[in-house]
A and B are shown apart, each in its own frame.
Chain A
Amino acid sequence: MSEGSPVAIIAAHGDLATGLVSAVQQITGRGELFLPMTNSGMGAAEIERALLELVDSRNLRVIFTDLPAGSCTIAARRVLAARPHVVLVTGTSLPLLLDFMSHEELEPAQAATHAVDRAVRSLTAVGGVARGH
């Protein structure tokens, strides 16, 4: 992944994308790999236009979104119809982004698939266990 250049967009509700980029920056110092975008205050057409403009102007090939049924995902699906080389990943989480950026040797689509697998496996529910004496 190119030094200092964004490789993917994170489009999400509220300030989530900015927060995820901030977390990536804190952990790896490479938050610049992701361009954050919020859908706040934007209609469907406006979100699609903004995504398309970022994809085209920055030559980006991956869009990460949050909710599978959210407006960012719907808009991204429309972008994919116009730009079939772009890959969409929904349900974005921090483990997913960290795995994606750690596989720069892979094509973006392969790195995205790998990251999804890793992110799914990172979901755990841990019950409380009384501390022993």
Chain B
Amino acid sequence: MAIDLYRIDDRLIHGQVVVGWGQPLNLGFIALVDDEVAGSEWEQELYRMGVPPDMDVYFATPDEASRLLDQWNEDQRPGILLTGDIDTMRRLIALCPSIKTVNLGGIHHRAGRTLKLRYVYLTPQEEEALRALERSGVVVTAQDVPSARAVPLDDVLRGEAER
């Protein structure tokens, strides 16, 4: 198996990931790529709590993840790689051009962001960062849960997918 999903989700590990995606994919591990979490035992314990005991959670910075990605992809179990924001995923892809798909799973409202989808809000800079990813050959879609339609980036940015 390999990493089945490269997901940007500002809630990181939560119900949609562990249950919503975890059960249908039969997830064996989650790779959480985040500078702050990778540097904090407390944060790591927080995210480990509640994850089923047979599901491993690995924590890494983007640099560390770039060195571990091949190993994760050789794992016999299905996995998800998570980042909490677009910039972290962008940094990882710059180091790992083998990543060719990105899932927008949850980027919620905050100052400066505008509504694109029910679960995707973006600043103009974030929109441009996602466009740049697609220009580099990465397919970006938005999909919060497996049963939902994967919405292409163009539709997301037009903000028309749910109208």
Residues of A that sit less than 8 Å from B by CB: 13, 41-46, 66-71, 73-74, 77-78, 81, 90
Contacts and interface: CB of A to CB of B under 8 A. Distances in A.
B148 interface: no
A43 B15 contact: no
A68 B84 CA distance: 20
Contact of B15 (A13, A44, A45): A13
Contacts of A69: 13-15, 18-19, 49-51
Closest 8 CB pairs of A and B: A69-B50, A43-B108, A68-B50, A71-B14, A70-B15, A71-B11, A69-B18, A67-B15
Given A41-B118, A70-B14, A77 B46 contact: yes
Interface of B: 10-15, 18-19, 42, 46-47, 49-51, 84, 106-110, 118-119
Nearest to A67: B15
A26 B19 CA distance: 30
Contacts of A45: 10, 110
| Most A CB within 10 A of own CB, among B11, B13, B42 | B11
B155 to A, nearest CB: 19
Contacts of A46: 108-110
Contact of A78 (B10, B13, B18, B46): B46
A29 B13 CA distance: 37
A46 to B, nearest CB: 6
B14 A77 contact: no
Contacts of A73: 49-50
